[in-house]
Structure 1
């Protein structure tokens, strides 16, 4: 049997088998990977590699019988020595603690703010084998809404991953569909993953703690033209945040978007009141931080005839 296909098909079952043998969850992936590497030729020759791999895994953990009381760790050390002899390094020590506020290159990335095509490209660029599956959700069509395994999960190149993209559940759950689509367009623009939204000839920008700024149409359509406002930089930074929730099992939280009428959702948090007259076409976009504490980043978007005429922004305190 092809060793790579066997690994893909049986990886999680082998992790469970290692756990049943007493291997700590955080050590199981390294041990299973090394057992598979050490038995690659036998797996390739076998029609059903399961028995030999389970025996090798048991021997790696418990040692071949009979064995002294300390045989569990003697077996692991023996496996390490054997693998070093064939040029494979075995990690029998506990890996470094996962970072609490970012993801390493060997962890599944956060897909917050991505549409399906960009998320797929990101995952494939990381060497993952991607399957896209629609998922019924109250979200704009085609946005990335999650993955299996989720963000933060360690992976190896060639591992499979399922990317879930939104399929709006029904009309009733997305009465704010157009506002939500406009919010994602603004976020895509901030993250350099999409064109500029439709801006008016002049755009008034009300930063959280400074005087209003005015951008002409050309500057508004250029991400660099927003540098003095801090708005796009803040949206980009908020989009990329993650927060470690649990090490066992390894779990991360990512931001969340809420789109509400401008008079709702501020609570004790707020933004400047723009001097925008003659328009009732306004909504508020908030990005809740992963920790869900403090005031979220909040952007109020004012439009006339479909074009953005003003933005009021507060960086929040999350």
Structure 2
């Protein structure tokens, strides 16, 4: 097994084990890294590197047991007694009482979290984490999904790979911050850890019709906003998607003005809003998109670049 893959997959658990053995929390990481480096060749050859690293870590922390020199004559006279006790004291190879207990957890929905937030959430549930970066023009560090996918039951012996955006090596088109605004809205709705720049009053539209307006200061407490905007997005994202990510695929399209149609139907036309718009489409696929279209969110800005209208069109 590749040493760096093993380190990424198991370091969190090994640091926890080192702490359990009495290593100060601020030193546990360096102790684990030292042991992994010392066992590098054995890790490459091992079927299960834990069988190499875990004993070496215990030996590093606790020291090698000391043996006592016993005269040969005494050993010969006591051989029968020692053998009898030895049989009773030999541990069952299937029992590993010093290992941390194996826990189970269900992989949660991670869309709308940052890489750091998703990693922290999984670690708190005793799940080992690796991160795979996917270069995109979207803001870096936004979680797209996981492997295994949301809803899968995993044990603390398994690794969940978080799939997240990363800065690309190519030049992205200048969308004047539209993608930042789109992902800020998703995080505002799904995790509450970001907030786009809203106008003083935000009009709310569903399937082409305005259903109300909410002051931006009241978005966190508004029943209209919660029922019409937040809950539909949260519920859509919470349904496992039949794709490799296990989450709806997010697409963001900046536009010069409001989109004229949504899945062949007329789009909302907010009054007194003449700025650009940004279309977010969440596509889960399968039965979640009964009409062949994903959940569409249009963000329409006012002349000052603030989100003044939010329009949803259901799948």
TM-score tier (shorter): 0.5 to 0.7
CA–CA distance in structure 2, aligned partners of residues 266 and 258 of structure 1 = 14
Residue 142 of structure 1 pairs with residue 141 of structure 2: yes
CA–CA distance in structure 1, aligned partners of residues 245 and 168 of structure 2 = 26
- How far 1:213 moved relative to its partner? 1.0
TM-score, normalised to structure 2's length? 0.57
Query: Structure 1 residues 175, 163: CA separation in 2 closer, same or farther (over 3 Å shift)?
Result: same
Residue 284 of structure 1 pairs with residue 283 of structure 2: no
Residue 271 of structure 1 pairs with residue 264 of structure 2: no
Can you list the C-alpha shifts for 1:54-94, whole angstroms capped at 9, x where unaligned? xxxxxxxxxxxxxxxxxxxxxxxxxxxxx9xx9xxxxxxxx
Contact kept? 1:303, 1:309, Cα under 8 Å: yes
1:299 is aligned to 297
CA RMSD, Structure 1 to Structure 2 (Å): 3.8
Contact kept? 1:205, 1:229, Cα under 8 Å: no
My pick for the range that moved more, 292-301 or 178-187, is 292-301
Asked which structure has the greater CA Rg, the reply is 2
2:73 is aligned to none
Structure 1 segments, 4+ long, off by >6 Å, are: none
TM-score, normalised to structure 1's length? 0.56
The count of aligned residue pairs is 219
CA–CA distance in structure 2, aligned partners of residues 252 and 171 of structure 1 = 24
Query: Structure 1 residues 215, 180: CA separation in 2 closer, same or farther (over 3 Å shift)?
Result: same
1:66 is aligned to none
- How far 1:177 moved relative to its partner? 7.0
Unaligned runs of 5+ in 2: 1-5, 11-47, 56-91, 96-103
CA–CA distance in structure 2, aligned partners of residues 145 and 177 of structure 1 = 22
CA–CA distance in structure 1, aligned partners of residues 225 and 163 of structure 2 = 34
Q: Give SS of 1:313's match.
A: strand
Contact kept? 2:147, 2:245, Cα under 8 Å: no
Unaligned runs of 5+ in 1: 10-35, 45-82, 87-104, 246-250
| 1:45-124 aligned within 5 A | 106-124=105-123
CA–CA distance in structure 2, aligned partners of residues 125 and 110 of structure 1 = 15
